[in-house]
Structure 1
Amino acid sequence: MPRHRMKRPHLPPDHAKGILHDLTWTVGPLLLAFALATALVVWLVNPAPPRTITISAGQPDSSLYQTAQQYAKVLARNGITLEVLPSDGSVQNLERLLDPNVQVDLALVQGGIATKEQALSLMSLGSVSYVPIVVFYRGKGLTLLSQLEGKRVAVGRAGSGTRMLSLKLLEANGITPGGSTQLLPTDGLQAATQLVSDEADAVFLSGDSATRGLMLRLLKVPGISVMDFNEARAYTRIFPYLDEIELPPGVLDLGRRIPPQTVHLISPTVELVARTSLHPALSDLLIEAAQEVHGMAGLLQRAGQFPSPVAHEFPISEDASRYFRSGKSFLYRALPFWLANIADRALVLLLPVAVLIFPALRLVPALYRWRVRSRIYRYYGALLAVERGAMHMSSDDERHALLVELDYIEESLDTLKLPLAYADALYVLREHIGFVRSRLATASRKEKHTA
């Protein structure tokens, strides 16, 4: 009669692995989950700043373009590349910022050219300079723009910020295109030449057109005067993006005292405007660059007056407000930019780390206990199968097969590695193996006595 063979019980395949193996399989999945959560937070909540950004500036020979180039030099010291994109001026700069298909991050934009809806979709990092409107005219005694009715007035080339602002100011004084006033589409030196040659009665100069040299040349021409905006304060109330500024006596030429008396002017400001997606760390760098470029005293400004957080047309960003209020954070003052950025981003992770790590620390011991005890419980499962087989055995072959399986279970315990804290469970298991072995012996004696 063939010997009966029992199916060998399924025992833990890792019974000979050490404590480190258990810890790895207990803590490893939690560490992996934590790493994935950390990566997700870094990617979604606080991504690293890009190393290259683009600014829309102005024409290559303009002050806006030169300003952007100076920004680029400052940012380069911190490992950031600022690509300067030439443009026709503030109008095109604004259009690029509003167009999602154009890869532009920020731009220099003159006040007075954006609608309210356009302004609210962008953010300002502060005003960086004045761009006054200076009106030169033939004759004397001009104090109101309404007095230009019916004359030839150069208001700037089509699409320029000078033209847009000039038309708004003239419209406020009842002068509109298509009326009796001839609005000439010229600016700068061309407009000044028309004024001197009596091809124009008045010219609006602004920005690069209103240079110190050109203003001196015009004021030295007999019969040409500069308009004093006596109603400058009224203009600033009607147009919130305008400021009232002054040309003190002699500021253009002290020796000849030009101008001979204070000239009141109105001026929008150039703002450093960005898309709302600009990284906060780059916002700080750009304002720092603006402070270095625009912080000196000039013809129209005091030292330290620019950049300024005073809101004109575009809302000041929260990051810019924080910077103007308290300056750079301690990390950015004490560390190089990229190292400070890494440390700053790490601090952002503290909250999610606390949320994840503390429950995980409480869960690890419980998972470890479950893993160790689960191996012991699988031995009990195999032992229970042997005991049930003893209750139904009907021959010596079956008893012998059960004893072989019992020996296999006991031998595997010799290589089982458990922490000392679970040694009592191991010895209790050995006692239970002895108990089952004794039941097999008792059952065998009963069978022989019965026979």
Structure 2
Amino acid sequence: MGSFKENTRETFLGLAETVQEKWTDFIQFLEETWPLLILLLAILMGIWWYADPPPPRHVQMATGSAGGSYEDLGKKYAEYFAGKGVTLELVPTNGAQENLIRLSDRNDPVQAAFVQAGVERPKNISGIQSLGSIGYDPIWFFYRGPEIKSSDFQVIAGHSNYFSNRKVSVGVEGSGTHAQTTRIIKLSGLEKAGLQFVNYPGEKAVKALQAGEIDGAFIVDALEAHNVQTLLKDPQLHLVTFKRAEAFTKLLPYVKILSVPEGAFNLERNFPSQDIKLIATTTNLLIDDRMHPAIQFLFLEAAREINGKESFFANRGEFPSFKDSLWPESPVAVHYEKNSYPLISAYFPFWIAEFISRLLFIFLPFCIIAYPVLRSLPSYRTKLMYNKINRLYGELKTFEQSLLLTFDPAKRDEYLKKLDLMEYQALNIKVSKRLAGDYYALRTSIDYVRNCLNRGMHPYQFNDAVDPDL
């Protein structure tokens, strides 16, 4: 009985020999079956290309009206996409309603859009999915004139100290501002307060309010939006606090409360002059449900990089958020929420990472399926080996027949070189152990013909003194 060291050494040597034998067998398998493997791979690649085409290099995205935050946000997304080799074309629209209609139209090239949560869906709309929310859109109400107590803005039984006989912009019909403002007006009873409502787009509402043509304006947009910043910087304008903000969150489940400390917008000016509460909706990133999964992942990565940063109202990593979505969530977004972006994207450019992941998607199943299937067909491999052996047998027989008919003693060296060539070809045939007997029989036959040529009297040379019929 050997020592532990010897037993261990023998065990590892046995394992090494087994691994080497399997590897040699695998290499031999590839050498023997590569034409069939290439054919199978070509077929699978064709099916893969048809069933899962590569992502497009050009995508259209609906943003919103000029001067809004969606315009600026869209430019950031387009810049991010350009860095990944994809052109993101921004399509300005009149607002959320138009965005939804264009997304649901199967003939419209628009495949993505920014839409505020809570916007009323057009009837019979379908084919839209959500990639999550990407930011807050506060509902701002700016007014001009002397600053008024918050209680004066409350509308009770259709009466308000401020709103009576005032002209207020509520946004263009079809826009997110109009949709959100309309709901607030109905819930608050503002339509009974004798107000005169005008439908101005964002930029026009800002100019009209600063010029004194209107008394107030609702704007639903991000803090960073140009229109919002313009109004916040105007010392003649004031901002209303939603004193009953919690009530709105109960009546409108998609609404969030945002707190603004005293002086947070302008400390020098002490604006706002007291702690205020704003109510806000969120921006949803909506897509056509036919969008290529790789482009969806690209949108999600753009949202994480652009909207995931810490901002005035949002914490770092808060967006994209997949909570409280009012639209069906994309399966890609669900996967992203659980697994984030594929690891391979961290080491390769977008297009290379996408190609590798798609290639692995087809190549690994191909290896898992094709190799065992071909290995399970021993007759196929045996036939290949037999063909190689029989082909040389055929050449040897043809060569020997030619010697019998046209033997020339002067060409003896030439004949021997041809036999050497056949033996070299035989040596390069890789066969399984089961066919080793046929393999060595072939080499023995070649050697037999060589010995016949090396004799003093060659059996291939006809001798007149010998009767061939004997």
What TM-score do you get using the length of structure 1 for normalisation?
Answer: 0.69
If asked which structure has higher relative contact order (CA below 8 Å, sep 6+), I would say 1
The CA RMSD measured in Å over matched residues stands at 4.3
Letter of the structure 2 residue corresponding to residue 359 of structure 1: V
The residue aligned with 1:314 is: 327
**CA distance, structure 1, for counterparts of residue 56 and residue 173 of structure 2:** 36
Letter of the structure 2 residue corresponding to residue 312 of structure 1: S
The residue aligned with 1:446 is: none
The residue aligned with 2:39 is: 32
CA deviation map 1:170-202 (0-9, x unaligned): 22334569x954322125454456556775454
**CA distance, structure 1, for counterparts of residue 75 and residue 211 of structure 2:** 36
The alpha-carbon distance between structure 1 residues 256 and 165, as it changes in their structure 2 partners (threshold 3 A), is same
CA deviation map 1:96-142 (0-9, x unaligned): 11111111121111222242987863222232222211123475421
> How far off is 1:302 after superposition?
3.4
- Please tell me whether the aligned partners of residues 152 and 181 of structure 1 are also in contact (alpha carbons under 8 angstroms): yes
2:365 is the alignment partner of 1:351: yes
**CA distance, structure 2, for counterparts of residue 91 and residue 107 of structure 1:** 11
| Equivalences for residues 187-198 of structure 1 within 5 A | 187-188=201-202, 190-191=204-205
| Equivalences for residues 229-248 of structure 1 within 5 A | 229-248=242-261
The residue aligned with 1:80 is: 86
Structure 2 SS opposite 1:211: helix
| Equivalences for residues 286-305 of structure 1 within 5 A | 286-305=299-318
**CA distance, structure 2, for counterparts of residue 376 and residue 37 of structure 1:** 32
**CA distance, structure 2, for counterparts of residue 368 and residue 296 of structure 1:** 60
**CA distance, structure 1, for counterparts of residue 366 and residue 381 of structure 2:** 24
**CA distance, structure 1, for counterparts of residue 182 and residue 66 of structure 2:** 26
**CA distance, structure 2, for counterparts of residue 368 and residue 292 of structure 1:** 54
Moved beyond 6 Å, runs of 4+: 23-27, 116-120, 371-377, 414-420, 423-426
The residue aligned with 2:412 is: none
Kindly tell me the number of residue pairs found equivalent between the two proteins: 378
> How far off is 1:150 after superposition?
6.8
Structure 2 SS opposite 1:332: helix
The residue aligned with 2:182 is: 167
CA deviation map 1:363-396 (0-9, x unaligned): 2x3135457879999xxxxxxxxxxxxxxxxxxx
The alpha-carbon distance between structure 1 residues 196 and 370, as it changes in their structure 2 partners (threshold 3 A), is closer
Unaligned runs of 5+ residues in structure 2 are: 1-29, 391-396, 405-418, 430-435, 443-470
- Please tell me whether the aligned partners of residues 205 and 217 of structure 2 are also in contact (alpha carbons under 8 angstroms): yes
The alpha-carbon distance between structure 1 residues 236 and 210, as it changes in their structure 2 partners (threshold 3 A), is farther
**CA distance, structure 2, for counterparts of residue 376 and residue 212 of structure 1:** 85
2:271 is the alignment partner of 1:264: no
Q: 1:156 aligns with which of 164, 167, 171?
A: 171
The residue aligned with 1:213 is: 230
Letter of the structure 1 residue corresponding to residue 154 of structure 2: T
> How far off is 1:81 after superposition?
1.7
Task: Give the share of equivalent positions with the same residue, in percent.
Answer: 29
Letter of the structure 1 residue corresponding to residue 232 of structure 2: M
**CA distance, structure 2, for counterparts of residue 201 and residue 337 of structure 1:** 50
The alpha-carbon distance between structure 1 residues 78 and 196, as it changes in their structure 2 partners (threshold 3 A), is closer
CA deviation map 1:44-97 (0-9, x unaligned): 1x4322222221123454331221111121222221221222222322222211
The alpha-carbon distance between structure 1 residues 352 and 176, as it changes in their structure 2 partners (threshold 3 A), is farther
**CA distance, structure 2, for counterparts of residue 193 and residue 37 of structure 1:** 61
> How far off is 1:268 after superposition?
1.3
Structure 2 SS opposite 1:298: coil
> How far off is 1:24 after superposition?
9.7
Q: 1:327 aligns with which of 333, 337, 340?
A: 340
The alpha-carbon distance between structure 1 residues 315 and 234, as it changes in their structure 2 partners (threshold 3 A), is farther
The alpha-carbon distance between structure 1 residues 259 and 353, as it changes in their structure 2 partners (threshold 3 A), is same
The alpha-carbon distance between structure 1 residues 24 and 300, as it changes in their structure 2 partners (threshold 3 A), is closer
2:53 is the alignment partner of 1:52: no
The residue aligned with 2:70 is: 64
2:221 is the alignment partner of 1:204: no
- Please tell me whether the aligned partners of residues 81 and 88 of structure 2 are also in contact (alpha carbons under 8 angstroms): yes
The residue aligned with 1:361 is: 375
- Please tell me whether the aligned partners of residues 110 and 268 of structure 1 are also in contact (alpha carbons under 8 angstroms): yes
> How far off is 1:319 after superposition?
2.5
**CA distance, structure 1, for counterparts of residue 269 and residue 172 of structure 2:** 33
Letter of the structure 2 residue corresponding to residue 142 of structure 1: F
What TM-score do you get using the length of structure 2 for normalisation?
Answer: 0.66
Structure 1 SS opposite 2:153: coil
Structure 2 SS opposite 1:183: strand
